[in-house]
Structure 1
């Protein structure tokens, strides 16, 4: 018999039994030290209070509770808006850019359409010239070909006219660039989009500096909500309509890009840098976008959903998040901390792609 191996195994067995005994006795010892019994660990059923019972109830589902009046005040301050089919989202089989719902987007779309007509006119003109040359100067019609090699008038025309066309295109193009980078006014509402691997965070520094974390919904949840798959999110970025917004972008890890085609908005989110552009949304609606910078393995799981609300509804949403509205502090109006948040500060989707805590700095390096 291998006595050293036998005693080593016996020693491990006894150590394991001792550890199990300590784990079994420790809770009872802790209870005895506190003067408690095992029954004290089972909390009695609390009286059902409306605020606590409905703390996590989605406002959209609040009507399903047994006592509708039990919903705490303010929980109906915001109900997620249903998207409009074909508005603010891609359309199957579409061949043009998305309809635009911002002043800059409308201007850019007008320029886009105008350039298409310019291209059509030039193409038809060149086609007509080619047909004329083929017919007029074919061998049957010109047995003796012309030896003309230069024509000053024609050369001046085909140099000056294209230059004038390019000049005409350059003026609205430069205007569009200037519009896209106009400085937001001082009273613009600041909202910050923060790119993480792989989800978005939306901070509202002018409204109490709270942050909303946004993750993509799975297929079943998106269809249940009537939203497009791979574009629907659990928590949307909520913005006011008709108000200049100072939309800032940054990132916590790698370069991302915040892009919403129907609002003609695209701005890179770079770690350690704060980029900003002005955004004004013309009308209420839900507008979808995606991260447009290849940022890693789950780049395709970073959709963007912006919900544009009238200003009073936006202010109600801010209050429901525990935030503040400009001017209300001076008037003595404060957010009620007892109101249930209408959007979760963290993702409600435990298995959502990219879900998790934001990256933290490694202090060991």
Structure 2
């Protein structure tokens, strides 16, 4: 969960998000090295006579300036493509959930593996919050899932573009009217993870919170049984 003075990303709660954090650090180090090298050359050219014939007219330098960017792009592209394919891969999901944006501005969830398990999820107004709850992030019904289980999310909308995004899980998928998009994730630990609609979908764009609660399988079965009894 984000908190004041947080300088980095939220703690990863899925293997994909862990990979994204590692890739971010990897790319940031490359950017830092490039910036340091360029800054050193600029300072050296200003303070010393570095602009000699070797720098201005040298075939060796031209070869380095050509090969080095290509090598850097390869170092960034290869891990990036690997993570991209990991995010798109969906193998034998244990649970499929439809995350729908039927009308502005709330989410509806349907557990397709159960016949009558579905509900709408509205943001809790500020005046109704209890101590410990987060303003603009709490929902009256959380999307409950079992931990360490592949979860497939089918995302769509009825009115305008929306986006179902949970930063801690490394998930962000656009909800497009008339189109069914899908993504998948696995939660590696129990907890409550917050997200919001990440598409500017209208006046109440910031009031479409997403709350995912990851619990052990036994607790999920108890929760689903209670929800089906109340349906």
TM-score for both structures, normalised by structure 1: 0.60
Spell out, residue by residue over 1:64-118, the C-alpha distance to the aligned partner (whole angstroms, 9 max, x if none): xxxxxxxxxxxxxxxxxxxxxxxxx322232322221111100001000111111
**3-state SS of 1:297 partner:** coil
**3-state SS of 2:41 partner:** helix
Which of 177, 185, 202 is residue 84 of structure 2 equivalent to?
Answer: 177
Alignment check: 8 A CA contact 1:184 1:278 kept: no
Aligned partners of 1:168, 1:149: CA distance in 2, in Å?
Answer: 28
Q: Could you list the runs of 4 or more consecutive aligned residues of structure 1 that deviate by over 6 angstroms after TM superposition?
A: none
Which of 68, 72, 77 is residue 161 of structure 1 equivalent to?
Answer: 68
Aligned partners of 2:61, 2:80: CA distance in 1, in Å?
Answer: 29
Which of 283, 286, 296 is residue 189 of structure 2 equivalent to?
Answer: 283
Larger Rg: 1
Paired position in structure 2 for 1:310: 216
Paired position in structure 2 for 1:202: 109
Paired position in structure 2 for 1:362: none
Aligned partners of 2:223, 2:54: CA distance in 1, in Å?
Answer: 79
Paired position in structure 1 for 2:8: 96
CA 1:193–1:148 in 2, change beyond 3 Å: closer, same or farther?
A: closer
Spell out, residue by residue over 1:94-144, the C-alpha distance to the aligned partner (whole angstroms, 9 max, x if none): 232222111110000100011111111121122222222233317xxx9xx
Q: Does 2:120 align with 1:213?
A: yes
Specify every segment of 5 or more residues in structure 1 that has no aligned partner in the other structure, as ranges: 1-88, 323-336, 346-365
Alignment check: 8 A CA contact 1:184 1:245 kept: no
Specify every segment of 5 or more residues in structure 2 that has no aligned partner in the other structure, as ranges: none
Structure with the largest fraction of strand:
2
Aligned partners of 1:188, 1:303: CA distance in 2, in Å?
Answer: 25
Which of 34, 38, 42 is residue 126 of structure 1 equivalent to?
Answer: 38
Alignment check: 8 A CA contact 1:289 1:305 kept: yes
Spell out, residue by residue over 1:132-182, the C-alpha distance to the aligned partner (whole angstroms, 9 max, x if none): 2233317xxx9xx75974200111011111210111110001111111111
CA 1:147–1:228 in 2, change beyond 3 Å: closer, same or farther?
A: closer
**3-state SS of 2:113 partner:** helix
Which of 21, 25, 35 is residue 113 of structure 1 equivalent to?
Answer: 25
Aligned partners of 2:53, 2:226: CA distance in 1, in Å?
Answer: 83
The Cα of 1:183 is off from its aligned counterpart by 2.2
TM-score for both structures, normalised by structure 2: 0.92
Give the root-mean-square deviation of aligned CA atoms: 1.9
Alignment check: 8 A CA contact 2:194 2:211 kept: yes
Aligned partners of 2:150, 2:53: CA distance in 1, in Å?
Answer: 65
Which of 92, 98, 101 is residue 192 of structure 1 equivalent to?
Answer: 98
Paired position in structure 2 for 1:152: 59
Paired position in structure 2 for 1:274: 180
Aligned partners of 1:294, 1:157: CA distance in 2, in Å?
Answer: 44
Aligned partners of 1:129, 1:284: CA distance in 2, in Å?
Answer: 49
Paired position in structure 2 for 1:349: none
The Cα of 1:184 is off from its aligned counterpart by 3.3
Length, aligned pairs only: 230
Alignment check: 8 A CA contact 2:117 2:224 kept: no
Aligned partners of 1:121, 1:208: CA distance in 2, in Å?
Answer: 55
Which of 145, 157, 165 is residue 251 of structure 1 equivalent to?
Answer: 157
